[in-house]
Amino acid sequence: MQRFIRALSLLSVFSPLVLSSCTQNRESSTGTQPVGVHVFPVASVSPRNDMVPNFSWTDTTGKSVDFDSYRGKVTLINFWATWCGPCKKELPDLVELSKEYEGKNVKFLGLATDRGSDVANDVARFVQEHHIPYQNLVSSEALEEAFGNVPAIPTSFLIDGQGKIVQTYVGARSKEFFSQAIAALLK
């Protein structure tokens, strides 16, 4: 009986941690990217010591875009996956928040950690189904390493206008939590 009670107490201590983040699972299916939704893989990564890594992707016109183009804006980068329960729980708050901050010098960027042969299409379908209005990309191991080996998902990084990582949040957070953190940077 004592072992059972000890196991329950350990479960009560660790279950919030387990429920608020996922370890990396790299499953994927196949299919086609939905019309009007564009999810691109990260093309290149340039690690930096004192700032967020610069990374690039190709936009719908075939032009290369890099993270440095977000300079001057507060940015919330969210590493997530389509299969991650805590990511899905956090997502509606991020969607709402991104709409509230639209046009207010704040950007949101999703980096899907999914892997597979048709990952861009899988993520694009998920983005469409969940009406995610902000840019989403398919992350890479090089990018995750440049961010300090993302330990679990969701993991979010709050970036100031100069490109410095101000805060790192491992595990799901609420709309109110992110709103307060962003508002503090905008002051």
Closest CA to 132 of 101, 95, 102: 95
Which domains does the chain carry? 2-186 (3.40.30.10)
Rounded Cα distance between 74 and 68, Å, is: 12
From first to last of its 187 residues, the chain has per-residue pLDDT tens of 444 334 334 334 334 444 455 654 434 344 554 455 789 999 999 999 889 999 999 988 889 999 999 999 999 999 999 999 999 999 999 999 999 999 999 999 999 999 998 999 999 999 999 999 999 999 999 999 999 999 899 999 999 999 999 999 999 999 999 999 999 999 8
Active site residues: 84, 87
Neighbours of 121 (CB within 10 A): 19
pLDDT of residue 21: 55
29-39 burial string, b = 16+ CB within 10 Å, else e?
eeeebeeebbb
pLDDT at position 8, please? 38
